[in-house]
Amino acid sequence: MTTSTTTGTMIEATDVGIRFKRNRSSRRSFKDLFSSRQRRSKPDEFWALRNVSFAVPAGEAVGVVGRNGQGKSTLLKLVAGVILPDEGTVEVKAGTAPLIEITGGFVDDLSVRDNVYLTAGLHGMSKAEIDERFDDITGFADIGNFLDTPYKHLSSGMKVRIAFAVITQLDEPILIVDEVLAVGDRMFREKCYKRIEEMLSQGRTMFFVSHNEKEIRRFCTRGLYLNDHGLALDSDIDSVLARYNIDYGA
């Protein structure tokens, strides 16, 4: 089976809820830790998201809109599978290429080359696949002859470029993007935009969080508006942005 045959619904969230502690330093007891996850919320906890349901069909680009602290990044992490919901389910039906903390997997002491193999491998690529794409990755990152330099000696711009290049070469059907485009110089940012557009035109599904209205309009056809820790509106991107602007007058 190849991933290219995947069609239908790609991401399906059903009644998703997740709660966090309001005060991280508050005392925890063993009893607290092991109590059932279905129990009612305690006073020192709050629901970061609750009763969120939506479905994203293959090939759609969805932008998540909302003010700070309304659960945008939390929702993105739930879709990426790096945190787990306390209520409901998030089903992701194909592989994801998460552009979240993209430099996170890179080890300072290893060379750029080793790091590319490690990160791409952790995201599921085999050695042969990485061999095949290695030149594309380093070419896109414009990393020149720093391939055998320890990662820690790269400039911060280079670090982000190589990380972006690795993740976008993953060839997964779902792309998850968390405001990474705020970094890098303008030329590289434009290159990233082009790459994302290219990936979208190849039929990939995208889940996108950004504060930048221009970016959202450029990529997304549909919007999810998060307000008051819930899904306030699920519609086309223009209506969602219009509603957001009415609520918070941007």
By CB under 8 A, how many residues form the interface with other proteins?
Answer: 51
Task: Examine residue 84 and tell whether it contacts other proteins (CB under 8 A).
Answer: yes
- As a whole number of angstroms, the distance between CA 242 and CA 70 comes to 18
- As a whole number of angstroms, the distance between CA 101 and CA 232 comes to 27
Q: How far is CA 156 from CA 122, 149, 152, 161, in A?
A: 22, 14, 9, 9
Nearest to 209 by CA among 90, 46, 100, 81: 100
Task: Examine residue 17 and tell whether it contacts other proteins (CB under 8 A).
Answer: no
Residue 155 C-beta: closest distance to other proteins, Å: 19
Task: Examine residue 98 and tell whether it contacts other proteins (CB under 8 A).
Answer: yes
Q: Strands across the sheet with 61-65, in order?
A: 96-99, 174-178, 205-209, 61-65, 222-227, 230-236
- Select the span of 113-121, 184-192, 211-219, 238-246 touching other proteins (CB under 8 A): 113-121
Q: Which of 57, 88, 157, 230 binds other proteins (CB under 8 A)?
A: 57
- Select the span of 27-35, 62-70, 134-142, 232-240 touching other proteins (CB under 8 A): 27-35
Nearer to other proteins, 67 or 152 (CB): 152
Task: Examine residue 105 and tell whether it contacts other proteins (CB under 8 A).
Answer: yes
Task: Examine residue 182 and tell whether it contacts other proteins (CB under 8 A).
Answer: no
CB 14 within 8 A of CB 89: yes
Q: Which of 182, 203, 212, 228 binds other proteins (CB under 8 A)?
A: 203
Residue 174 C-beta: closest distance to other proteins, Å: 11
Taking residue 108's Cβ as centre, other Cβ atoms within 10 Å add up to 11
Single-letter code of the amino acid located at 25: S
- State the Rg of the chain over Cα: 19
Residue 64 C-beta: closest distance to other proteins, Å: 18
- As a whole number of angstroms, the distance between CA 48 and CA 75 comes to 9
Identify the burial level of 84 via C-beta atoms within 10 angstroms of its C-beta, where 0-12 means exposed, 13-18 middle and 19 or more buried. Answer: exposed
**Which of the residues 114 through 173 are near other proteins (CB under 8 A)?**
114, 118, 121-124, 126, 129, 132, 171, 173
Residues that bind other proteins (CB under 8 A): 1-7, 18, 20-21, 28, 33-34, 37, 57-60, 77, 80-84, 86, 96, 98, 100-105, 107, 109-110, 114, 118, 121-124, 126, 129, 132, 171, 173, 201-204
